[in-house]
Structure 1
Amino acid sequence: MLTDAGRPLVDINEAEFTAVDSANAVPMLRWSADAEEARRAVGRAGEQALIRLLRECGVSQVRHVSAESDAYGYDIAASGDLAEKAHVEVKSTTDPTRLVIHLSRHEYEVMTADAQWCLAAVLVGRDGEALSVATVDRGWLCSAAPVDQVQRGRWESVRLEVPSEAIQPGLVMDTWRLISPSLFLSPFAWACRQPPGRFTDGSLALQLPSPPGRLQPGNKAGFGPLDDRQCCQRAGV
């Protein structure tokens, strides 16, 4: 894609800006095709690594839907033996110190309409393996996303630096734990919180209250409910 001036439209971070002497000067962008392809390769590696992990963890059906189309608004569709479903958007990185993601408007709108949507952060190693997997809180994503200011303008993509309190080890949903935090032997990346307590199989679990009819921590089939965060239903979404 190109800008109106014929320049390449790229996704960048602070490291790709050159230093400038004046605070009022416009920073110059360092960009290369190799760097762009490297970013794309990390994204692909994270998706493939998570697909392998889900299958290794016994998820019965795993489908790489983003390889078919970007229209889904997520990357992986997963189904369990007990009719559990998960629509997983994958954000991959090689930086264990902080988690920076880019969320598209389409991904955001799918999230607000789809209770089975979740965001998985994957720390990718040198060999393309997943060194760590974590779940980003939906409520935080809703609260951090921009709000359109005028009728004739709308945001299409947002860069977010996710705080550690919005990151939970493993891949978990309200009633389904797809990947246990205890699967990873190395310390959790991004300083994300380690949930207290343990499942009956020894893996870590959140001690969250569950209303009648919902799965409780200690049941290997899933978790109690996370905060629904009704901010996703705000006007204009």
Structure 2
Amino acid sequence: MVTETGRPVVEVSDSELRDLGAASSVLSVRWSRVAEEARRAVGAAGEKALLRLLVRGGVPQVQHVAAESDGYGYDIDARRSPQEHAHLEVKSTTDPTRLVIHLTRHEYEVMVTDAEWCLVAVLVGGDGSAVNVATVSRKWLQSAAPADRDRGGRWESVRLEVPACAITPGLATETWRLVPDALLPRKAVWASEPSAPLTV
């Protein structure tokens, strides 16, 4: 059982699952307030680091819309001109070995209908800075999202492990680069090598 915000109603330990005889048949997903606060801190650090990179990269209009509402379906509105703007959904992590994201149904539906929507992965360092920034393929996200099988049920969020083939180093929409690659952190992570810098 989960609350309206998607949090488990109770925290169930592995020993409690074993007592129920379900440990071998149920994948244990544990939630704790401390872990949730840590995830939120990493998420906020990634968004702030990306905001700094966008400003440093010369994007003249940057708005942190997630600070106002979750209703947008993305975190940052970045605009260089009326023709060059992007709605950035930021997924942050501290794990350089693999990229695992959680995508909500609302984020997915905004992606499907909004040509300016872009998923940006930020590897956050111990000091809260961006160690790496990459873009995740929209086409891959659409192919990886689950399908509703019955009118009586619908998925609300999904956990996805993003393969290296769906990760492009740098920060780019399908039509323009938000920040020159030379200004972005270039550490090789998530089983990908940094590509040669592209011009803006």
* TM-score category of the 2 structures, normalised to the smaller one: 0.7 to 0.9
Residues 2-21 of structure 1: matches in 2 within 5 Å? 2=2, 9=8, 18=14
- How far is 1:174 from its partner? 2.2
Conserved? CA contact 1:102–1:160, under 8 Å: yes
Greater relative contact order, per chain length (Cα 8 Å cut-off, separation 6+)? 2
- How far is 1:162 from its partner? 0.0
Residue of structure 1 in register with 2:78 after alignment: 78
Match of 2:154, SS? coil
Structure 1: 5+ residue runs without aligned partners? Answer: 199-203, 206-217, 221-237
Residue of structure 1 in register with 2:49 after alignment: 49
C-alpha separation in 2, matches of 1:96 and 1:51: 21
Q: Which amino acid aligns with 2:131?
A: L
Computed over aligned residues only, the root mean square deviation of the Cα atoms, in angstroms, reads: 2.8
Residue of structure 2 in register with 1:34 after alignment: 34
Larger Rg computed on CA atoms: 1
Residues 178, 26 of structure 1: alpha-carbon distance in 2 compared, 3 angstrom cutoff: same
Residue of structure 2 in register with 1:132 after alignment: 132
Q: Identity of paired residues, percent?
A: 59
Q: Which amino acid aligns with 2:154?
A: R
C-alpha separation in 2, matches of 1:25 and 1:34: 27
Residues 126, 86 of structure 1: alpha-carbon distance in 2 compared, 3 angstrom cutoff: same
Residues 118-197 of structure 1: matches in 2 within 5 Å? 118-184=118-184, 186-195=186-195
- How far is 1:178 from its partner? 1.0
Structure 2: 5+ residue runs without aligned partners? Answer: none
Residues 144, 29 of structure 1: alpha-carbon distance in 2 compared, 3 angstrom cutoff: closer
Which whole-Å deviations, capped at 9, do the CAs of 1:40-78 have from their partners, x for residues lacking one? 100011001100100000000000001111111000000
Residues 17, 76 of structure 1: alpha-carbon distance in 2 compared, 3 angstrom cutoff: farther
Q: Which amino acid aligns with 2:161?
A: E
- How far is 1:25 from its partner? 4.7
C-alpha separation in 2, matches of 1:185 and 1:133: 7
Q: Give TM-score, length-normalised by structure 1.
A: 0.73
Match of 2:178, SS? strand
C-alpha separation in 1, matches of 2:111 and 2:151: 22
Q: Give TM-score, length-normalised by structure 2.
A: 0.85
